[in-house]
Amino acid sequence: MTNDESKKKYDLEERTAVFGERIIDFTKKIHQNPISVPLITQVVRSGTSVGANYCEADCAETKKDFEHKIGICKKESRESKHWVRMIVRAVPQLKEEARPLWKEANELNLIFTSIVRNSRANKR
């Protein structure tokens, strides 16, 4: 891994933006039908919301606002895992392509969980 790649991996703003882009690209491949359309809508909303809320958190004016926005990032990343799973159920042939998205959503969720936990611990 080059130094630039290493920096990008730990740049949460970039990482969450790339996650949202990957979700969008993934959903473009899904054949639309009455089952897939609501699933696509949901995963695009949650997957792109992670990055938008991280940007908001990064520019938060207060610690309370920061914690709130990071909490939303945590919830949206977890929700993204759920919707990716539901898409795989609806379109099983996308399972292997969905796996890295689920994994990234899980890793982001763990990162945001840690941030929330550390932020709360620093209050004490």
**What's residue 121's pLDDT?**
78
Residue 19, Cα to own-chain centre: how many angstroms? Answer: 6
**Structural domains of the chain, ranges and CATH numbers in brackets:** 3-121 (1.20.1440.60)
Quick check: 89 and 100 in contact, CB under 8 A? no
**What's residue 75's pLDDT?**
98
Model pLDDT for residues 23-36, shown as the tens digit of each residue: 999 999 999 999 99
- Is the model's pLDDT at 124 over the cut of 60? no
Distances (CA, A) of 94 to 17, 21, 53, 83, 97: 22, 17, 28, 13, 5
**What's residue 68's pLDDT?**
96
Model pLDDT for residues 46-71, shown as the tens digit of each residue: 999 999 999 999 999 999 999 999 99
- In whole angstroms, give the CA distance from residue 58 to residue 13: 8
- Is the model's pLDDT at 12 over the cut of 90? yes
Burial (CB count <10 Å: 0-12, 13-18, 19+), residue 46: buried
Model pLDDT for residues 80-94, shown as the tens digit of each residue: 999 999 999 999 999
